[in-house]
Structure 1
Amino acid sequence: MSRIVVFGAGGRAGRRTVAEVVARGHQVTAVVRDPARHADLAGIGVSVVAGDVTEAESVATVAAEHDAAISTAARLDVPSEEFYVSAARALLAGLGRAGVGRLVVVGIGTTLEAAPGMPVHDAPGFPAEGRAFSLGHAAEFEVLRAADTEVDWLVLAPPPVVLDAEAERTGRYRTGGNQVLPAEADSAPFSYADLAVALVDEALTPKHHRSLVAVG
């Protein structure tokens, strides 16, 4: 049995990740800003705790004695670059102190390349507000890539579309490089439930390392 700590556990991706870990028979610590708002997460194998993904000391405290970490954390009330850069630095520092060697982070599909050398957010006509949010994720990736750290990190970026929040888990997904995965004929929209499968797979049995990887 492994112990996984999930940051941002109260969101759509976070909740499904917590459920996926539990369904596999592992223990999970669900980290949220206000546990009172997420009491429904608590259950067999789940401990709900308060934590701040942008503070290294908080990360180290909640991550102690865990085998891997998954971050699905997001903030819309803080400038994107400020939040994601702070989170990347705090996660690496805090997990390093706690001795947690594996980190899987949810990225965003708009940072993937639509064409060689051109991220989706740099395509002509891309909305300015969406581009600012995407650039925060890109800055987060640059912090991770430049870091001198023993933490084996990975950024998994789902397709640059709205994910299906209602679809049931199929357990099927595919991964690629740092380019948007080509759409398959008659394929259903990628779901949060299957994103959670990919996140937990990479946390428990890593196949990709220190890179940005498309998943869909």
Structure 2
Amino acid sequence: MFGAGGRVGSATVAEAVRRGHTVTAVVRDPAKYPDLGADQVAVVRGDVTDAAAVAALAAGHDAAVNASARLDVPSEEYFTAAARALATGLGKAGVRRLLVLGIASTLQTVPGVRIMDDPDFPEEYRVFSQGHVAEFELLREQADGLDWLMVVPPLDLSSEAPATGTYRTAVGTVIEGEGRIAHADLAVALLDEIDRPAHHKVQLAVSS
């Protein structure tokens, strides 16, 4: 689990543990996350943009999840570097399944038109969103050996939303209705796609 220290990452680690999985929780500084460790969790330092580190950390695992982000590095540079390192490193480690966390602004509202394409969409968020678009394109073009999936929560990814244990999905498009999901329910969706892979090489929108 890359980016295990964030809200989505920690919720995903907790859901994996609840299901009986053994997890390697990868963070930039393990000392900052003393509560992340558990009997089934090894908290380790790692860099998702380093293919050799990815290969070493992923060895012996069945799947990898990347929920990491960096605000101090240009979005497109970071997300494409991570995607490239994951494609290379997981291949060397023999790990086939990869889930990456996307962003709602890249979903289509109508065919060919994404939320981020609206002229009134804030430019600073558009730049960040473009990093995820570039990540998706790189995976589609260069990760033939991986069974990857980009899981995309709605705009309101909330720590305050009630956890229901359920969710709805759509491929590549905004889901109708209230666009909101709890971190815990997003974690359920991620683990479901590890335990019972149902979607492959697409953007999978998830929402309550």
TM interval, shorter chain, is: over 0.9
2:53 to 48, 54, 58: 58
1:215 aligns with 2:206: yes
The 1-side partners of 2:31 and 2:42 are apart by 13
SS, match of residue 47 in structure 1: strand
1:192 to 175, 183, 198: 183
SS, match of residue 29 in structure 1: strand
The normalised TM-score by structure 1 is 0.93
The 2-side partners of 1:88 and 1:140 are apart by 6
1:38 aligns with 2:33: yes
Answer yes or no: is the 8 Å Cα contact 1:157–1:214 preserved in 2: yes
Q: Percent identity?
A: 56
| Structure 1: unaligned runs, 5 residues or longer | 1-5
Shift of 1:40: 1.2
The 2-side partners of 1:190 and 1:206 are apart by 21
Answer yes or no: is the 8 Å Cα contact 2:62–2:96 preserved in 1: yes
Shift of 1:84: 0.3
Matching residue's letter, 1:197: V
Q: Per-residue CA shift, 1:88-123, capped at 9, x if unaligned? A: 000111000000010011100100001210111011
1:147 to 142, 166, 176: 142
Answer yes or no: is the 8 Å Cα contact 2:156–2:179 preserved in 1: no
Shift of 1:148: 4.6
Answer yes or no: is the 8 Å Cα contact 1:167–1:193 preserved in 2: no
Correspondence list, 1:1-216, <5 A: 6-159=1-154, 161-183=155-177, 189-216=180-207
Indicate how the Cα distance of structure 1 residues 62 and 169 shifts in structure 2: closer, same or farther if over 3 A, else same. Answer: same
The 2-side partners of 1:148 and 1:158 are apart by 22
Matching residue's letter, 1:210: K
SS, match of residue 171 in structure 2: coil
Indicate how the Cα distance of structure 1 residues 104 and 157 shifts in structure 2: closer, same or farther if over 3 A, else same. Answer: same
Count residues in correspondence.
207
SS, match of residue 144 in structure 2: coil
Answer yes or no: is the 8 Å Cα contact 1:10–1:38 preserved in 2: yes
